[in-house]
Structure 1
Amino acid sequence: MAGSGRVTLNDVAAASGVSRATVSFVLNDDPNQTISPATRERVRLAARELGYVPHGIARALREGSSRIVVLNVDWGLEGNYSRSYVRGLDEELAAHGHVLFVRHGHSAPQATQQVLDSITPRAVLWFAEPYLAGHEPSAEDWKSGFAGHAALQIRYLADRGHTSMAMALPDDESPLTGLRLRFANETASTLGLPPLTPFVVPRPRIAGTKAVEAFRAAHGDVTAVAAFDDDVALRTLTALHDLGLTAPDDWAVIGYDDTEYGALVTPALTTVHIDAEAHGRRAARAALGLDAGDITQVPGRVLARDSA
């Protein structure tokens, strides 16, 4: 074994009884080499037992990039979508010999370029980009994508007899708010209902309460609120409490993206749960240039609790 204590290709070759070149072909999944399944398994077993770890710098020089995939995340860190998306992305990359590197928050272009120059990543991804990119959703998008998840809120409220609805929005600008409202209104139109009336529920608490109070005074016909996310839904429930009102008696409130906090409040928050593990796995396959046809996306579902 090498004097440094690091397991090398030579060590794996000696343990598996094959040449160093054969070990390299097997561990790099070289499609141009014909190696028997038994030999491949013997090499991989020896590598696992010895704890062989590829030398990242050497591999990067040979392949032109490292086996690192960078994910930039600048929104949506609280909900189940982000948790399941990152889990699926990480597990799928690992299954193909790659490592996920996650960067949180907005970064200056210079800092971003410094990271890219330092690690030479195989690919750079932006969180949930395929999920959010479609402004003209397909049938699949309406089933298990952004449009379909937005529609779940409206259909759930309509099924419970609500015909006049509002959409509670955050006070920070987001390119997603317009799309969410659009998809919600398209769903309402399909159901023969009027468009949702949007309003902002800002921070801090007192400002949110005043906003809800003013909106209720101006829109007494509204009986249900579809919130942009669980955070906005919880602000809305807090405002109702501060005004001496309750959900769902005075307003039915439904959240979106199932943060852990929604189950801890009273009344417990009804919300949309999104399992995005398949989205993450598809993103990993796309980054590696692999087919993802066998990965099936799971439709979202409503977690029916007490607030709506």
Structure 2
Amino acid sequence: MGRSGRVTLSDVAKASGVSRATVSFVLNDDARQTISVATRERVVEAARELGYVPHGIARALREGSSRIVVLIVDRGIEGNFSRSYVRGLDEELTEHDHVLLVRHGPAAPGATRKILDAVVPRAVLRLGEAYLHGPGPAGPDEQDWESGFAANAALQIGFLAERGHTRIAMALPDHEFPLTEARLGFAREAARRLGIACPESFVVPRPREAGAAAVEAFLAAHPEVSALAGFDDDIALRSLTALRDLGLRVPQDVAVIGFDDTEYGSLSTPALTTVHIDAEVLGRIAARDALGIDTQGLAPVRGQVVDRASV
């Protein structure tokens, strides 16, 4: 067996007493090659006994891409949602003998196109595709409000409202993320459903001093705001740090909640309350949809608030 632990063509060739090329011809069922029945049987038997499995990428390329699925992950979608989604997508594709190729953005112009032209994938997926351009005129359906991205985004607002916060602001990143408009739309609709004021929004930039100045200016203009909902944990932690730098107490003076649980929030003081999203099932559903397989029995799991100390 090869040093890596994975059985190779060379291992099968050695066990069956033929060349590596002959093994390749037999296992690929190359009709252009004339190989005796006895030799074919010997190679197949050796491969079976050794547990040989063709390398996924090589096989996908050989089959003209039918076993490659490409996932494009835009900048700013990198928390637990992304990690769990990719895990579910990869495991489901593997179970059905396919290969996942993840492309993280941003990419140079034309770079992704070159990859797609090279592998001609079975399918191309984009994480969060349904929400990249905002909720749309009709908004998300009720199923999305039950267990989809809308429901997860609404958890922030609902958790703050349950604790008496009726004037809430969304703290946003200092550069455009694909899901910003969708998140704002969901937050505003969640507030409307709860009967509280429409959330204000403002940017919390880097570096630390700029973030503190932005939070100070915003709170001076909106003294009624008692809680900040971060676009993600990173922005929530920037906000929490800014508040402490300004001499404000969290959560006594201003509460802060994150989103998409990067786990760094557990290390802050006070520890950051956040929304944890497990999207593994969504990844599995996406894999089956891409392969044309029934998704019956798979249902999205609603996120959960990780209640720490910042609210």
TM-score bracket for the superposition, by shorter chain length: 0.7 to 0.9
Alignment partner, residue 172 of structure 1: 175
Pair 1:226 & 2:229 matched: yes
Distance 1:190 1:10 in 2: 64
Aligned residue pairs, count: 284
Alignment partner, residue 70 of structure 2: 70
Distance 2:274 2:290 in 1: 31
Contact 1:228–1:256 at 8 Å: present in 2 too? yes
Comparing 131-140 with 143-152, greater Cα deviation is found at 131-140
Structure 1 48/248 Cα, relative in aligned 2: closer, same or farther at 3 Å?
farther
Instruction: Return the match for 2:149 from 131, 141, 146.
Output: 146
Describe the superposition over 1:125-147 as per-residue Cα deviations: whole angstroms up to 9, x where unpaired.
Answer: 11232465753211111012121
Deviation (angstroms), 1:166: 1.1
Deviation (angstroms), 1:286: 1.3
Distance 2:256 2:194 in 1: 19
Alignment partner, residue 4 of structure 1: 20
Deviation (angstroms), 1:54: 6.1
- Secondary structure of 1:226's counterpart equals strand
Distance 2:60 2:216 in 1: 61
Amino acid at match of 1:106: P
Contact 2:281–2:299 at 8 Å: present in 1 too? yes
Aligned sequence identity (%) = 58
Contact 2:81–2:278 at 8 Å: present in 1 too? yes
Amino acid at match of 2:90: D
Contact 2:56–2:98 at 8 Å: present in 1 too? no
RMSD, aligned α-carbons? 3.0
Unaligned runs of 5+ in 1: 14-19, 25-42
TM-score by length of 2: 0.82
Alignment partner, residue 123 of structure 2: 123
Alignment partner, residue 258 of structure 1: 261
Structure 1 225/126 Cα, relative in aligned 2: closer, same or farther at 3 Å?
same
Deviation (angstroms), 1:12: 11
Deviation (angstroms), 1:56: 6.0
Q: Residues 157-168 of structure 1: matches in 2 within 5 Å?
A: 157-168=160-171
Distance 2:49 2:142 in 1: 44
Alignment partner, residue 88 of structure 1: 88
Deviation (angstroms), 1:60: 5.0
Distance 1:304 1:55 in 2: 42
Distance 1:174 1:59 in 2: 33
Alignment partner, residue 236 of structure 1: 239
Describe the superposition over 1:120-167 as per-residue Cα deviations: whole angstroms up to 9, x where unpaired.
Answer: 221111123246575321111101212111110111011111111111
Deviation (angstroms), 1:72: 1.4
Structure 1 11/58 Cα, relative in aligned 2: closer, same or farther at 3 Å?
closer
- Secondary structure of 2:171's counterpart equals strand
Structure 1 104/185 Cα, relative in aligned 2: closer, same or farther at 3 Å?
same
Deviation (angstroms), 1:180: 1.3
Comparing 52-61 with 269-278, greater Cα deviation is found at 52-61
Deviation (angstroms), 1:49: 4.2
Structure 1 84/58 Cα, relative in aligned 2: closer, same or farther at 3 Å?
closer
Deviation (angstroms), 1:74: 2.0
Structure 1 164/9 Cα, relative in aligned 2: closer, same or farther at 3 Å?
same
- Secondary structure of 1:245's counterpart equals coil
Structure 1: which 4+ aligned runs deviate by more than 4 Å? 5-13, 46-49, 54-61, 131-134
- Secondary structure of 1:287's counterpart equals helix
Structure 1 59/6 Cα, relative in aligned 2: closer, same or farther at 3 Å?
farther
